[in-house]
């Protein structure tokens, strides 16, 4: 793995370039890692993947714990690892135990031996040695060390323990590693700035290829997050990539980028898709100021629309005018509305394609803003656009 | 009439034809995947085109409920609504009502049923069925017929057949778009050759663009099934397409094609995929079975589809019946298999290789030579010599014990489905 930071905006936000063995072209950061179920996107079959922007869509994140059921590790290993198992030779795989969808940390059941997760095959305690075995058979390009992630409300004592364990498990992972994949050291510390920093400083001492920031999206408020993120990224060396888990909303992504994070997961897209939502926010970061024509319509909050709404029953326009994804080039809102009404799988296929396409476009426009040195303005405009929107209904009531 | 049917090749009763419909020129014999609600479950229309799908089926009953035929009409027809550029066929809605609803009652007026929306009694008349199908806009529309279970006997069968004939005139009279849509009549008459004959002659008199053989694939024994098909295909006009409704097992399609049928439809390939079963030349492969967990072969090593080129049985095993992607990938493979079967039937007939094709097909499906007796009987009528595929009678006992152990990995693909 090669990583180089290419430019900083007028703040900590940075754009870089990630080069990995199998992907023919380098991938620019900040970048989105596509969420997967057992290595494939939830609904986008491999023959439809190339319709997404390339190489932007070539980073896939998976949880090795998805394979606690299924082919034996020996079989996966003999096939040649995940890339071969999935037939995705020009894609980059990043392994993270937690996936925010089917594999969630269960801190009460974690102990000094390993981390506990709620998975599709029940609650499982995973020890570092077992985790590394999974990793070794799957041979991801990047993998995060095992972390003891805790939600924001745990006691200081429990939070300290989580940092101690995570650092100890990182050492075990490094010692056991035999894959050649790039290890990203896990950084936790919950809502405690000092613990966050202590963890980051310990991880920085280790021989890692990058950093994985865990313990977010677990109950902390969006307002306290920037300080916590800064506490971590302030002590990280600039030259290594930083991946984060648990930030999904556009505003959260922007927070992460503002703190200097490079890689993000996309469980958000999965949840949107299941809910029948399609992303529609403008990518230039400037939310139009004109009064919303659908002011009283709860189908839209200006970042997304809900295609289940009866409003779209006869709407023959694409999800988003000007979007050139497969769904928008081929289908109408009315059709997707029908598919959702009758519970047809094609609805999720089309929505996942559009949402992924749109979010990759969002990342691209962020990178352009950083390169132009205008990330802060971009960030501010985006947040203001949202605030204006939220203020609009109140204004309408008052008038 | 809005179709052309040109026969490109024959072998005895079997024929390969070019069927030109308003939206697409199809090669027959062909299989039509069922897209009940305006989509083939789990596949995009682009994928359907890629695998060579020529015509898909929509279910009038479901579409009339949601999104409603009025809405489809307003938005420009089902082709446009679902963005499917190729051919389409809709059923009459009658069969769905009788099979899905407990309280359907058939009278001379039409099919009375309880509305699934508000529980009120509703009536689907032949006129209404055609009106709805005119709004949906498929290339081929089906007449409303009086559907009865093939397994029942007695005067009800006779009544249904005569009613079907009376209704066809009402359907023809109600059909408003005969230059854009082809109305097919449906031969009824149960398993009674006399009734089937009366029905065929009655329909042929109406000079319809095509004919369907209905009331089969409903649990009747296989010998009765093929005999009805053989009787109907023998007396239906040569220059019109013949569609056997509800047939989807690959073996049945090969047999019916040998007997002179051209078109088939069934939910089987996609439904069985959702239950974790793959269609392969040897029969079926149950991907859910534990022996698949570490089987590193493709589903079908001789298949060129996207799934078989990329995935092992082991990987599909861990997806099937649990994740959407499992049924997406298996449906893709199964439909690819059906499309390949359709193409092979067509080209082998055109190239004069049809008997060889049938023999190879049977040899792969029945490597022990245990070709079912009904297939042998049908092939005799079709004039195809399959003696080289059939083992002498005395060896049949050993076949059975092998079938029991068919889930051992080595044998798993050598055996036909445990049907
Ligand atoms: Zn789109
Ligand atoms: Zn295949």
The residue of A63, A312, A342, A350 whose CB has the most chain B CBs within 10 angstroms, and thus the best one to mutate to test that interface, is A342
Catalytic residue chosen out of the listed positions B91, B139, B146, B300 = B91
The residue of A39, A344, A354 whose CB has the most chain B CBs within 10 angstroms, and thus the best one to mutate to test that interface, is A344
A109 CB contacts (<8 Å, ≥6 apart)?
A: A116, A123, A125
Rounded to whole angstroms, the Cα distance separating B210 from B240 reads: 5
pLDDT at B403 over 80: no
CATH class of B2-266: alpha beta
CA distance B290 to chain A (A): 9
The verdict on whether B265 is a catalytic residue reads yes
Rounded to whole angstroms, the Cα distance separating B317 from B325 reads: 11
φ, ψ dihedrals at A119, nearest 5°: -125, 175
Question: Is residue B351 classed as helix, strand or coil in its secondary structure?
Answer: coil
> How far, in Å, are A238, A334, A338, A360 from residue B88 at the CA level?
59, 20, 19, 36
Task: Residue window 56-85, chain B: list those with CB within 8 Å of chain A.
Answer: 62, 66-67, 71, 74-75, 81-83
- Under an 8 A CB cutoff, do A313 and B71 touch? yes
- State residue A337's pLDDT score: 98
Question: Is residue A143 classed as helix, strand or coil in its secondary structure?
Answer: strand
DSSP string, B25-71: EEEESEEEEB-TTSS-TT--HHHHHHTT--EEEE-HHHHHHTT-HHH
The answer to whether residues A259 and A233 touch, using CB atoms and an 8 Å cutoff, is: yes
User: Measured between CB atoms, does B46 come within 8 Å of chain A?
Assistant: yes
- State residue B392's pLDDT score: 78
Rounded to whole angstroms, the Cα distance separating B229 from B38 reads: 29
Name the interface residues of A facing B (CB cutoff 8 Å). Answer: 37-38, 40, 42-43, 45-48, 67, 69-72, 74-75, 78-79, 85-87, 120, 313-314, 316, 326, 330-332, 334-335, 338-339, 341-342, 344-346, 348-350
The owner of tokens 């097919």 is B184
First to last CA, chain A: 58
Ligand 2 center to residue A280 CA distance, Å? 37
User: For chain B, what percentages of helix, strand and coil (3-state, to nearest 5) are there?
Assistant: 45, 15, 40
Q: How high is the ipTM of this complex?
A: 0.94
CA distance B369 to chain A (A): 34
Average pLDDT, chain A: 92
> What does the pLDDT look like over A257-303, one tens digit per residue?
999 999 999 999 999 999 999 999 998 754 444 444 444 445 677 89
> What does the pLDDT look like over A110-137, one tens digit per residue?
999 999 999 988 999 999 999 999 999 9
Query: Beta strand pairing status for B140-142 and B121-124?
Result: unpaired
Residue of B nearest to A338 (CA): B67
Is B95 assigned to a binding site? Answer: yes
The answer to whether residues A5 and A12 touch, using CB atoms and an 8 Å cutoff, is: no
> What does the pLDDT look like over A67-123, one tens digit per residue?
998 899 999 999 999 999 999 999 999 999 999 899 999 999 999 999 999 998 899
User: Measured between CB atoms, does B380 come within 8 Å of chain A?
Assistant: no
φ, ψ dihedrals at B324, nearest 5°: -50, -40
pTM > 0.90: yes
The owner of tokens 């309408």 is A396
The verdict on whether B73 is a catalytic residue reads no
Query: Which residues in chain A are contacts of B293 at CB distance < 8 A?
Result: 70-72, 75
> What does the pLDDT look like over B150-204, one tens digit per residue?
778 889 999 999 999 999 999 999 999 999 999 999 999 999 999 999 999 999 9
Query: Which residues in chain A are contacts of B314 at CB distance < 8 A?
Result: 70-71, 75, 79, 85
Q: Domain spans of chain B?
A: 2-266, 273-383
Determine the Cα angle at A344 with ends A341 and A347, to 5°.
85
> How far, in Å, are A20, A142, A256, A298 from residue A15 at the CA level?
17, 19, 13, 36
Alpha helices in B279-323 (DSSP H): 306-310, 313-319
- Under an 8 A CB cutoff, do B325 and A48 touch? no
Alpha helices in B311-387 (DSSP H): 313-319, 324-350, 354-365, 373-382
Least confident piece of the model among A206-210, B323-327, B405-409: B405-409
Percent of chain A beyond pLDDT 70? 93
Is B53 assigned to a binding site? Answer: no
Which H or E element spans position A196? helix A193-205
- State residue B406's pLDDT score: 40
- Under an 8 A CB cutoff, do B66 and A341 touch? yes
Work out the pLDDT band at B117, boundaries 50, 70, 90: confident
pLDDT at B259 over 90: yes
Cα-trace Rg, chain A: 21
Query: Which residues in chain B are contacts of A120 at CB distance < 8 A?
Result: 322
Q: Which domains does chain A have, with CATH numbers?
A: 2-266 (3.20.20.105), 276-398 (no CATH)
- Under an 8 A CB cutoff, do A45 and B325 touch? yes
- State residue A291's pLDDT score: 44
């Amino acid at each position: 793995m090669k990583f180089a930071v290419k430019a900083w905006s007028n703040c900590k936000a940075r754009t870089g370039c990630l080069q990995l063995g199998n992907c023919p072209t380098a991938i620019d950061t900040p970048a989105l890692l596509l969420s997967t179920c057992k290595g494939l996107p939830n609904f986008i079959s491999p023959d439809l993947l190339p319709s997404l922007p390339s190489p932007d869509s070539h980073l896939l994140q998976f949880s090795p714990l998805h394979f606690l059921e299924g082919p034996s590790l020996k079989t996966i290993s003999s096939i040649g690892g995940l890339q071969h198992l999935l037939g995705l030779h020009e894609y980059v795989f990043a392994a993270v135990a937690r996936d925010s969808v089917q594999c969630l940390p269960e801190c009460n059941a974690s102990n000094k031996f390993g981390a506990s997760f709620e998975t599709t095959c029940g609650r499982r305690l995973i020890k570092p040695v077992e985790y590394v075995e999974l990793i070794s058979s799957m041979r991801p390009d990047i993998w995060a060390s095992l972390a003891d992630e805790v939600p924001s409300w745990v006691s200081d004592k429990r939070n300290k323990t989580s940092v101690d364990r995570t650092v100890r498990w990182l050492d075990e992972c490094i010692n056991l590693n035999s894959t050649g994949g790039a290890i990203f050291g896990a950084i936790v510390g919950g809502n405690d700035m000092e613990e966050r920093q202590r963890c980051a400083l310990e991880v920085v001492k280790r021989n890692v290829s990058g950093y994985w920031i865990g313990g977010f999206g677990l109950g902390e408020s969006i307002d306290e997050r920037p300080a916590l993120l800064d506490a971590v990224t302030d002590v990280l060396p600039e030259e290594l990539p930083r991946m984060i888990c648990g930030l999904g909303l556009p505003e959260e992504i922007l927070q992460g980028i503002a703190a200097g994070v490079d890689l993000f997961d996309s469980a958000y897209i999965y949840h949107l898709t299941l809910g029948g939502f399609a992303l529609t926010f403008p990518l230039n970061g400037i939310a139009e100021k004109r009064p919303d024509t659908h002011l009283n319509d709860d189908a839209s909050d200006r970042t997304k629309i809900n295609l289940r709404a009866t409003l779209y029953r006869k709407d023959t326009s694409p999800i988003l005018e000007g979007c050139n994804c497969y769904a928008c080039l081929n289908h109408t809102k009315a059709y997707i509305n029908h598919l959702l009404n009758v519970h047809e799988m094609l609805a999720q296929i089309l929505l996942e394609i559009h949402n992924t396409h749109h979010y990759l476009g969002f990342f691209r426009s962020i990178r352009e803003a950083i390169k132009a040195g205008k990330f802060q303005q971009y960030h501010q405009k985006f947040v203001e656009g949202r605030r204006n929107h939220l203020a609009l209904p109140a204004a309408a009531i008052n008038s | 009439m809005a179709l052309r049917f040109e026969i490109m090749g024959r072998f005895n009763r079997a024929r390969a034809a070019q069927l030109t419909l308003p939206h697409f020129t199809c090669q027959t014999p062909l299989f039509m995947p069922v897209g009940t609600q305006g989509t083939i479950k789990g596949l995009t229309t682009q994928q359907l085109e890629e695998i060579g799908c020529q015509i898909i089926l929509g279910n009038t009953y479901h579409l009339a409920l949601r999104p409603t035929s009025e809405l489809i009409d307003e938005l420009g027809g089902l082709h446009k609504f679902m963005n499917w550029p190729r051919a389409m066929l809709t059923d009459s809605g009658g069969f769905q009502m009788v099979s899905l609803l407990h309280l359907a009652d058939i009278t001379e007026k039409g099919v009375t049923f309880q509305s699934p929306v508000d529980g009120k009694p509703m009536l689907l008349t032949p006129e209404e069925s055609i009106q709805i199908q005119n709004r949906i806009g498929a290339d081929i529309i089906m007449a409303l017929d009086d559907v009865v279970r093939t397994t029942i006997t007695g005067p009800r069968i006779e009544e249904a057949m005569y009613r079907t004939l009376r209704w066809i005139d009402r359907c023809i009279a109600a059909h408003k778009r005969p230059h854009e849509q082809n109305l097919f009549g449906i031969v009824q008459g149960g398993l009674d050759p006399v009734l089937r004959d009366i029905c065929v002659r009655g329909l042929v008199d109406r000079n319809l663009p095509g004919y369907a053989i209905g009331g089969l694939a409903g649990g009747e024994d296989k010998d009765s099934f093929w005999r009805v098909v053989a009787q109907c295909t023998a007396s239906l006009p040569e220059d019109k397409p013949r569609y056997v409704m509800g047939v989807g097992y690959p073996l049945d399609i090969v047999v019916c094609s040998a007997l002179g049928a051209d078109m088939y439809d069934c939910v089987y390939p996609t439904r069985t995929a959702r239950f974790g079963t793959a269609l392969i030349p040897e029969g079926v492969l149950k991907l859910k079975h534990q022996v698949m967990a570490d089987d590193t072969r493709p589903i079908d090593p001789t298949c060129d589809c996207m799934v078989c080129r990329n995935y092992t049985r082991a990987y599909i095993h861990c997806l099937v019946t649990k994740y959407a992607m499992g049924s997406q990938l298996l449906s893709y493979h199964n439909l690819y298999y059906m499309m390949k079967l359709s193409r092979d039937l067509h080209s082998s007939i055109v190239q004069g290789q049809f008997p060889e094709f049938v023999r190879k097909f049977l040899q792969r499906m029945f490597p022990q030579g245990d070709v079912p007796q009904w297939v042998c009987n049908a092939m005799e009528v079709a004039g195809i010599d399959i003696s080289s595929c059939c083992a002498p009678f005395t060896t049949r006992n050993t076949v059975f014990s092998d079938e029991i152990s068919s889930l051992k990995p080595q044998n798993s693909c050598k055996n036909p489905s445990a049907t």
